Amino acid sequence: MTVPTIQTAGLTKGYGDICALKPLDLQVAEGEWLSVMGHSGSGKSTLMNLVGGLDRPSGGSLSVGGQDLSALSEDGLARFRREFVGIIFQQHHLVPYLSAVENVMLSQYFHSVPDEAEARLALERVGLGHRLKNRPGELSGGEQQRVCIARAIINSPKLLLGDEPTGNLDHKSTVMVLELLKELRAEDRFTVVLVTHNEEVAAWGDRTIYLDDGVLVREERLRS
């Protein structure tokens, strides 16, 4: 039995008086695709930020990929983010004045050293081989999100986090992006955690959890 990619016990997060995440016990197996649902303000993004090492928990234990995140130093946490996770947001956060391939190379640069050939390959994998030199403003929403996926997977993360990555996309683009994620996961075998408001998107996962006011209220396994 392998170590779960994500394991939390009594994990909490508060912002001042607000308790965004009540004690949460959660396990995500290696290679699993977990969907996270819940109404606005239920703590989904909070959970993602904690798991992705963008924020530190207020209490409880949180281990990702066998590393105890609360024990890591700032440097250690930065290295964890660089080497272990890839994140896709609803807003694409691409640098507007850099081309698609340069945006991907930027991520390589922060990880180690840029390698243009490899960045091109990654964009070809997400089906953007013909739009390498275009800037984000010249790409459609779905294409932008695919650049984000290329950027997120370029450093071979073990865990891919998506915070409503398809929230801004129409149905057709949503399916394309999810299809792509599924293919990449089959090849690279990373774990996926995807936040969504959409039942249909959630159905792409192996399991769905429902948060309400920072509490895990329901869990539904779709496939194993």
Partner 1 sequence: MFAAKLLPQLFAFFGIAAVVLRGYPERRRPLAVSVGAGFAVGAAVAFFLFRNFPGSFPFELIRTVVGASFFLFWGIAVTALYRSSERALPDASGRSSRLDAVAAPVIALGAAVTAGALAACRFSGNDAPLGPVPALVLLLVIGALLAAAGFFLEAKLPEALTVSRAGTLGGVVALLLLSSSYLVRLDLFSPLSMKVMKGCHDFVHQFMESVLIPDHLFVRPQIWGYIGILFSKEVGFWGGMVIWFTPFLLVAIAVRFELLPSVGHIRQGAQRRKLLAAAIRQRRMKLIVPLLSLVLMAGAAYRSSFPDVEYWDPKPIPVAADPSGDVFIPRKGGEVDLSDGKLHKYLLKGGAREVRFFVMLTPTGKLTVDLDACAICKPDGYGQGEGSVICYYCKTLIPLETVGKPGGCNPVPVAFSEKPDGVHINGVTLVNAWSTTVQSTGAKKEGGK
Ligand X SMILES: Nc1ncnc2c1ncn2[C@@H]1O[C@H](COP(=O)(O)OP(=O)(O)OP(=O)(O)O)[C@@H](O)[C@H]1O
What is the size of the binding site for partner 1 (CB under 8 A)? 11
Exposure string for 33-43, b = 16+ CB within 10 A, e = fewer: bbbbbbeeebb
Q: Name every residue whose Cβ is closer than 8 Å to that of residue 60 and which is 6 or more positions away in sequence.
A: 8, 9, 10, 11, 12, 23, 24
Rounded Cα distance between 109 and 189, Å, is: 24
Query: What does 18 interact with, of partner 1, Mg ion, ligand X, none (CB < 5 to 8 A by kind)?
Result: ligand X
CB of 160 to Mg ion, least distance (A): 17
Instruction: Indicate the DSSP class of residue 190.
Output: -
**Burial group, residue 62, by CB count within 10 angstroms (0-12, 13-18, 19+):** buried
Among residues 20 and 180, whose Cβ is nearest to Mg ion? 20
Among residues 107 and 174, whose Cβ is nearest to ligand X? 174
Query: Which of 221, 209, 220, 191 lies closest to 5, judged by CA?
Result: 191
CA 172 to centroid of chain Cα atoms: 21
CB of 103 to ligand X, least distance (A): 24
**In the stretch 41-60, what mask flags binding to ligand X with x, by CB under 6 A?**
xxxxxx--------------
Rounded Cα distance between 160 and 56, Å, is: 18
- Say whether residue 42 binds Mg ion (CB under 5 A): no
- Say whether residue 45 binds Mg ion (CB under 5 A): yes
Among residues 43 and 157, whose Cβ is nearest to partner 1? 157
What is the size of the binding site for ligand X (CB under 6 A)? 11
- Say whether residue 18 binds ligand X (CB under 6 A): yes
Binding site for Mg ion (CB under 5 A): 45
Binding site for partner 1 (CB under 8 A): 83, 108, 111-113, 115, 118, 121, 154-156
